[in-house]
A and B are shown apart, each in its own frame.
Chain A
Amino acid sequence: MKASQLQGRIERAGDLPTLPVIYQKVKDLVDSPQTSASDLGEVITQDQVLTTKLLRLVNSSFYGFPQRITTVNRAIAIIGFRALKAMVLATSILRAFSLDGDDGFQGEGFWQHSIGCAVGSKIIGKYIGYEEPDELFVAGLIHDIGKVVEYVSFGAELKEVLQVAEGKGVFIREAEEGILGANHAQIGSFFVQRWKLPPQLVEPVTYHHNPEGAKEFPLEVGVVHLSDILIKALGLGWAGDYKVPPLDLGAWKRLGLKISAIEPIMEEMEEGFWDGISVLKE
């Protein structure tokens, strides 16, 4: 299938979800310099599910505040506008796709992998001193979104992809290229651009398997690339591959991490993984 045909088919598949209106509202408020914490709080508290998730999130080990945070205004004051926008996006995406596939795709395992990669990206972000690790969390969460698009738009082909990948012992992306003519990174990239997500989120989706292609955001791409490898190495979640993909050394070097950081990062990932699941996926 050619790229244009593929795009056409994705476009025609009317079932692909859109981002909830609340995300756009929050984004507009956060992007406006006049917005106060209480303006934001007002919009968020209109959405009960979002409010509950947000409060659980800020009270989880991700933030590790000693005192319980019970109001949205306090949560906003503590985590800040940018982190809040990232968290609203994360919960919006999870809500937009409530998957429980039963035909080999294992929706549950997929989101476990995605949440694991999200948690890992945020942890790696912390280790490299990244300014806003919550934005890396979102990048990790959506890195494999192309697989969800395949699930929705190309159900029959995805089944074949999974069979071929398992039968021949190749990576999912290689089977996708053979059967669909494009891999999940390319399909995901097209999709998140349609959602009008910013380039620092688009690039990790597009280049998480070939970080050398990154243009403006090689660091963000490198973080998600490494996190994807580490969560697969830990065997937490499952997104179709049985094997750990190779590490791009250029991406590794750009992160500026010491080898000795691998172990504590992986330890934190395992712990954060279970917290992430309990906070986000319910």
Chain B
Amino acid sequence: MRVSLQEIEPGMRLKRPVLNQQGGLLLKEGEVINPQHLMLFKTWGIGQFEVEGEREDRAGDGGEEVEAVFSASGGGEVMEEIKRVAERMRAAKGRSGQ
């Protein structure tokens, strides 16, 4: 699947190599992304990547995932707000849980 710089995350495996604007090789295919790579991509301004796996329908999945990670946190209006913001931010970034 094709993912953007906002979507790519540590643990994903590259299906195609990542090249810089001059065509120089930054990372080989098959490499597993780590946080240093993300910085490298930011530095080089690389925006698109081909990684292994299929895109899941992410609509709403921020919700289910956040529901699970908050299952032991109790209630209260502050926690509800934290949960709401977390859900919104995770959905916006299409970021999966840890």
- Please report A residues at the B interface, Cβ cutoff 8 Å: 108-109, 112, 171, 229-230, 232-235, 237-238, 242-247, 249, 252, 259, 262-263, 266-267, 270, 274, 277-278, 281-282
Closest to B62 in A: A235
A179 to B85, CA, bound (A): 35
Residues of B in contact, count (CB < 8 Å): 31
Q: Is the CB of B90 within 8 A of A235?
A: yes
Q: Is the CB of A242 within 8 A of B98?
A: yes
Q: Is the CB of A233 within 8 A of B83?
A: yes
Inter-chain CB contacts under 8 Å: number? 83
CB distance from B18 to the nearest CB of A (A): 18
Q: Does B69 belong to the interface (CB within 8 Å)?
A: yes
Q: Is the CB of B34 within 8 A of A108?
A: yes
Secondary structure at the A interface, as helix, strand, loop or mixed, is helix
Q: Is the CB of A235 within 8 A of B81?
A: no
Given the interface pairs A238-B98, A263-B85, the reply to whether A246 lies near B79 with Cβ below 8 Å is yes
Q: Is the CB of A262 within 8 A of B78?
A: yes
Tell me which of B39, B78, B90 contacts A247 (CB under 8 A): B78
Closest to B66 in A: A233
Tell me which of B39, B71, B76, B95 contacts A235 (CB under 8 A): B95
Q: Is the CB of B76 within 8 A of A247?
A: yes
Tell me which of B39, B66, B96, B97 contacts A277 (CB under 8 A): B39
A266 to B72, CA, bound (A): 20
Q: Does B23 belong to the interface (CB within 8 Å)?
A: no
Q: Hey, which chain B residues are within 8 Å of A244, CB to CB?
A: 69-70, 72-73, 82
Q: Does B86 belong to the interface (CB within 8 Å)?
A: yes
Q: Does B21 belong to the interface (CB within 8 Å)?
A: no
Extra pairs beyond A229-B73, A242-B69 (8, CB < 8 Å):
A171-B72, A233-B86, A235-B95, A235-B96, A243-B69, A245-B73, A247-B73, A252-B78
Given the interface pairs A235-B97, A247-B79, the reply to whether A266 lies near B85 with Cβ below 8 Å is yes
Closest to A232 in B: B69
CB distance from A109 to the nearest CB of B (A): 7
Q: Is the CB of B85 within 8 A of A262?
A: yes
Closest to A261 in B: B81
Q: Does B36 belong to the interface (CB within 8 Å)?
A: yes
Q: Hey, which chain B residues are within 8 Å of A229, CB to CB?
A: 73, 82
Interface 1/0 per residue, B55-73 and A, CB below 8 Å: 0000000000110111111
Q: Hey, which chain B residues are within 8 Å of A108, CB to CB?
A: 10, 34-35
Offer 7 A-B interface pairs, CB within 8 angstroms, sorted by A: A230-B82, A233-B66, A235-B69, A244-B72, A263-B81, A274-B38, A274-B39
